[in-house]
Structure 1
Amino acid sequence: MQTKMSLRLLLICCTLLFPVHQINAAIHPDSLLPVRGLCIEAPRPSGVDSFVTFIHRELGPRKVNTLILRIDFNYQFKSHPELRDSIALSEADVKKMVTVCKQNNITLIPQINLLGHQSWASKTHNLLKKYPEFDETPWVKMPEKYAWPNNDSLYCKSYCSRHPRVHKIVFALVDEICQVFEANTFHAGMDEVFYIGYARCRRCRKKDKAQLFADEVWRIRNHLAAANRTLWIWGDRMLDGHATGMGMWEASHNGTHPSVDQVPKDIVVCDWHYERADKSAVYFAMKGFKVVTCPWRDPLIAIEQLQDMINFRRTATPQLKPLFGGMLQTIWSPNGAFLKEFYNKPQKSSGTGGKSNTQWECFTRLFDTINQL
């Protein structure tokens, strides 16, 4: 009952904001929200058929038009087979997802984490495992049991962006994954980069961290642009965590935030905030970036963020309106776990203080509200 009332109140508010004749004049969903997206981990081979069914039955009817799949090393790379996960997607697996996305008019965007997120907890990911010389902080050893905070300030490892051989390898992966996904857009991650520009790194010492971050964005962008591809990244490293009070996760505490004025303006910024409906999309748009707002598991915050995005587009100048791109729902559990959650619909998730805030509920309510608008 409370959910229905909340949606009814939202619709009443939207009717006040948008007279009926205006809604009818802009009935196509692309006019309301050009990007209506989902970001989720790619399935493992055994889950491809279930995920294809999910795309066809759930994403298509909800008018989702953008799907970011986090691939990383979950593909049978031919350019660098040593970097494959032990169980990884085949080309045939990928083509199943490409086909169903085309059938449902969904733009498919692959993601490989570049720069940061080269490890997780006690596990080093494949790039630094096979090429430890690329490690920005090789003196930081992976713990047997991970805990935060820790003496090394270890969250996730980074590769050194100034290593002379790292880009030859990572760009080969990028090219191969974009080709097999038939993608003209690539997501490079680049969020939560805590290890960058360390004084003990002989290549990075005395280098400005914002400049190092910006230089890496430029390298990736220029490589993609040579093949007429567009770069998307997460936006947290370009926000000042101290000045905004957004903290060290959703923004930067390590000096990378001035890069917002140094990176290319033709990238797309994915602006994620999960605990509050922060208005940083306005900041990114006024800096000249196309921006999409990214919720996670709190439906009320997601609906507030949606209303903000609609209002930004409605009230913006003609110059700024195209920069407010839309909404991107993020999912951070494994692909198969989310599908199980979505279809079984558990009522509570850990870490929410007993509230019934779940990824499936956030996704469902966000897109149901979009389509009712």
Structure 2
Amino acid sequence: MKKIVSLLLIVLGVVGLVKAQELPVRGFCVVAPNEAQLSTFIKFIDEELASRKVNTLVLRVDFNYEFKSRPELREKDALSKKQVKRIVEVCKKNGIRLIPQINLLGHQSWAGRIGNLLKVFPEFDETPHVKLPEKYEWPNADGLYCKSYCPLHPEVHKVVFDLVDEICEVFEADAFHAGMDEVFYIGDDKCPRCSGRDKAELFANEVNKISNHLALNKRQLWIWGDRLIDGKTTGIGMWEASMNNTHRAVDLIDKGVMICDWHYDRPDQTAVYFAMKGLSVVTCPWRKPENAIAQVKDLVNSRNRATPELKDRYKGMMQTIWTGLGSFLDEFYGKKVVTGDSEVACFKALFSEINNIPVTKP
């Protein structure tokens, strides 16, 4: 009898283990296509993402859409509504959740180029005294990486929420990605509104303001997780974590926010940290296949070993692409060869590892 009971316990344990390995999010994140790339991208979604059982596509749109609410913020040759609907339809066909992104708070400039928001509304600039150089170099005396908008400017949310609402509607999205990574300028000493304020509270209040706005239409907020990690205590540093004291915001933000936890040089296991803080988390690799494989294994192990309360917070994996859509597609379809770290190799390794996980049918 004891042997039978032991055998049953082993079987139940194995079943539980297999079920724990199912990943709710199998994602892909890339910049939105231009008109010339659109057909190839749709083919890629239909044939390559679908065949790999990708079920979530985060599309970094920013100002690459013909906004009707704020036409002055459009990029030149932005995607039309008709073109967006082609992406929407191929995602619907393949059961892929489509989540648009516009960078909010940070990433309002890049190198020597100011972004459209601060170009049109310079009064929103958190650090107007910091001028963009003709030739950008890092490090620099101003600590300039990317500019931020001032989260306490009384007019900024009227503008950005027009964009958020319109982009969510045209993409028929039930979630929105606000970026919010690598925010180096926040609570600047020279800002008349933010000076002297707690940077963690400023960051958390902006997250919650966006989350609450999205919740009015039953949409979920997704953000990158780096500003919520203590870069000094962990040793992770200023890029994949925070060195300007925003990390305490992790205890102040809405627990319904999805955290996209990116680590590109090492497979740091901070997903455990976010889960234990009560937040759902998606682990995000970039271009190192060995890291992506390690991250899948870590995530599966975390889900297998977690309490029932923690298990469901480990949502899955999302491949990120940062070299540009054209560059990625050229490498994927053999038009160019990349030596060394490769987004395509990482993408293939990630989903090979994910799709080798045993999955039980419900």
Provide the C-alpha distance between the structure 1 equivalents of 2:64 and 2:239, rounded to a whole number of angstroms.
Answer: 26
Supply the distance in 2 between the matched residues of 1:24 and 1:56 (Cα, whole angstroms). 33
**Counterparts of 2:324 and 2:332 in 1: how far apart (Å)?**
12
1:241 maps onto 2:231 in alignment: yes
Give a deviation string over 1:90-133, Cα, whole Å, max 9, x none: 00110000000011110000000000000001000100000000
Provide closer, same or farther for how the CA distance between residues 345 and 148 of structure 1 changes in structure 2, counting only shifts above 3 A. same
Within 2, Cα distance between the matches of 1:37 and 1:184? 15
Paired residues of 2:331 and 2:337 also in contact (CA < 8 A):
no
TM-score (normalised: structure 2): 0.93
- Give the counterpart of 1:88 among 78, 81, 93: 78
What is the alpha-carbon distance in structure 1 between the residues aligned to residue 245 and residue 16 of structure 2?
47
C-alpha distance in structure 1 between counterparts of 2:296 and 2:278, whole Å:
21
CA distance, structure 1, for counterparts of residue 15 and residue 207 of structure 2: 39
Q: Aligned partners of 2:13 and 2:252: how far apart in 1?
A: 43
Are 1:140 and 2:124 counterparts?
no
Q: 1:25 to 1:218 in 2, by over 3 A?
A: closer
**1:22 Cα deviation from its structure 2 partner:** 3.9
Q: In structure 1, the residue corresponding to 2:193 is in which secondary structure?
A: coil
Q: Write the mapping of 1:66-77 to structure 2, written as runs, cut at 5 A.
A: 66-77=56-67
Task: Name the aligned partner's letter for residue 236 of structure 1.
Answer: D
Amino acid at match of 2:79: L
SS for the counterpart of 1:108 is: strand
Q: Structure 2 CA distance, aligned partners of 1:198 and 1:24?
A: 50
Aligned-residue Cα RMSD (Å) equals 1.7
User: 1:362 maps to what in 2?
Assistant: 346
Counterpart mapping for 1:270-349 below 5 A: 270-344=260-334, 346-349=336-339
CA contact (8 A) 1:116 1:195 kept: yes
Kept after mapping to 1: 8 A contact 2:285/2:318: yes
* Deviation of 1:346 (Å): 5.0
- Equivalent position SS for 2:66: coil
Distance 1:280 1:368 in 2: 23
CA distance in 1: counterparts of 2:75 and 2:336, whole angstroms? 30
Amino acid in structure 2 at the alignment position of 1:362? C
CA contact (8 A) 1:111 1:189 kept: yes
The percent of aligned pairs where both chains have the same amino acid is 59
**Which of 113, 118, 131 is matched with 2:103 structurally?**
113
Deviating 4+ runs (over 6 angstroms): 18-21
Superposition TM-score, scaled by structure 1 size: 0.91
The one-letter amino acid paired with 1:368 is S
Deviation at 1:57, TM superposition (A): 0.7
1:266 aligns with 2:256: yes
Residue 312 of structure 2: SS of its match in structure 1?
Answer: helix
How far residue 348 of structure 1 moved from its aligned partner, in angstroms, is 3.6
Matches within 5 A, 1:57-72: 57-72=47-62
Alpha-carbon deviation of 1:335? 1.1
2: CA distance, partners of 1:24 / 1:160: 48
8 Å contact 1:342–1:360 — kept in the other structure?
yes
Question: What is the deviation of 1:138?
Answer: 0.2
**Is the aligned partner of 1:220 residue 2:204?**
no
Match of 2:356 in 1: 372
Q: Distance in 1 between matches of 2:17 and 2:288?
A: 32
Unaligned runs of 5+ in 2: 1-9, 358-362
What's the CA shift for 1:19?
A: 8.4
How many corresponding residue pairs? 348
Indicate the SS of the match to 1:319. Answer: helix
Q: Tell me, what secondary structure is at the counterpart of 2:208? A: helix
Cα displacement (A) at 1:26: 4.8
1:344 Cα deviation (Å)?
1.3
Q: 1:231 to 1:31 in 2, by over 3 A?
A: same
Q: Secondary structure at the match of 1:60?
A: helix
Contact 1:347 1:358 in 2 (8 A): no
The question of whether the paired residues in 2 share the 8 Å contact of 1:345 and 1:360 is answered with no
1:22-37 to 2 correspondences below 5 Å: 22=14, 26=18, 32-37=22-27
Cα deviation, 1:154-185, whole Å, max 9, x if unaligned, reads 00000000000000000000000000000010
The 3-state SS of whatever aligns with 2:178 is strand
- Secondary structure, aligned partner of 1:89: coil
